[in-house]
Structure 1
Amino acid sequence: MFPTLVRRLAQATKPQANSAVSGTVKLKKVWPPDLKSMSMQQQLRFEKKYKRRLKLATARPRWDKMVRLGQLFSITFVLGYMVLFMDWRDVPTPFDPIREKFYGFFGVFTEETRKLDRRDRYIPSQPSTK
């Protein structure tokens, strides 16, 4: 790796492939354009075109979509946590009916009801009903 680096540094530079840079071909348009020589309408048209092209060149649709989804999921998670699981310290909130329905629906998954549902296994803490 190091000999290759030294060899490449010692080589002469290659000529530019773009002939417009070397001056053999005359450019069609001068860049950047002289805005002082343009009329107001031409300046406006040029600025609109430049902004549109710049926006298209810098567009990152996949990144933007992932950022939007990340924001959506994080806001949804925080709001869901606040409504369903956050301890409000005995303060009545407008979310109480939603919390009661949620815990009523998922109440069958609590530890107490899980022990009562399975009759096929022996639970020493409960007396046998047979």
Structure 2
Amino acid sequence: MFPTLIRRAAQKGAEEIPFIYTNPYRAKRLWPPDFTKIHPKHQFRLERRFRRRSKLRWARPRWTKAVKMVQFGSIVFVAVYGVLFLDWNTTGNPENPPFHTIRTWFFGLMGNIWGRGQVRRRDEPDEASPVSSSDS
């Protein structure tokens, strides 16, 4: 509102106050126009153009991308935490809590990540122990 008033005052009084209006290129039309004197069809066109230009002016693609990435990261974090690390207080079946198979699989893979030996399954026979009776 105030920039419009200042701009209109500068255009009207450019001859009287020379230091306000210093642009050598004059605008073809005064913006924003007086919408009370414009035909509704032309007013709609101007509003549509103004909406499009303001969307382009206020578009923040980097900010939008960052917000989407933070949202996606928080959703993935909550899902992984809920499946792998959350203590599901199961009153009905404490032997088989939810996601038990996924947890055993994941911690079977990650249980010995920094160790020297490979991770073995529980149902594999132990090859290092002397089971054969041929030694005695």
Scaled by the length of structure 1, what TM-score is found?
A: 0.59
How many Å separate the matches in 2 of 1:31 and 1:64? 30
Match of 1:62 in 2: 62
- Normalized per residue, which structure has more helix? 1
User: How many residues end up aligned between the 2 structures?
Assistant: 97
Q: Which runs of 5+ in 2 are unaligned?
A: 1-17, 92-96, 119-128, 130-136
Q: Which runs of 5+ in 1 are unaligned?
A: 1-13, 119-128
Higher relative contact order (CA 8 A, sep 6+): 2
- Runs (4+) of structure 1 moved beyond 6 Å? none
Q: Once the two structures are superposed, what CA deviation does each residue of 1:60-91 show, in whole Å capped at 9, x if it has no partner? A: 11111111111111111111111111111245
Distance 1:34 1:108, change over 3 A: same
Quick one: percent identity of the two aligned structures? 38
Distance 1:97 1:39, change over 3 A: farther
Q: CA RMSD in A?
A: 3.0
Scaled by the length of structure 2, what TM-score is found?
A: 0.57
Find the partner of 1:107 among 103, 107, 111: 111
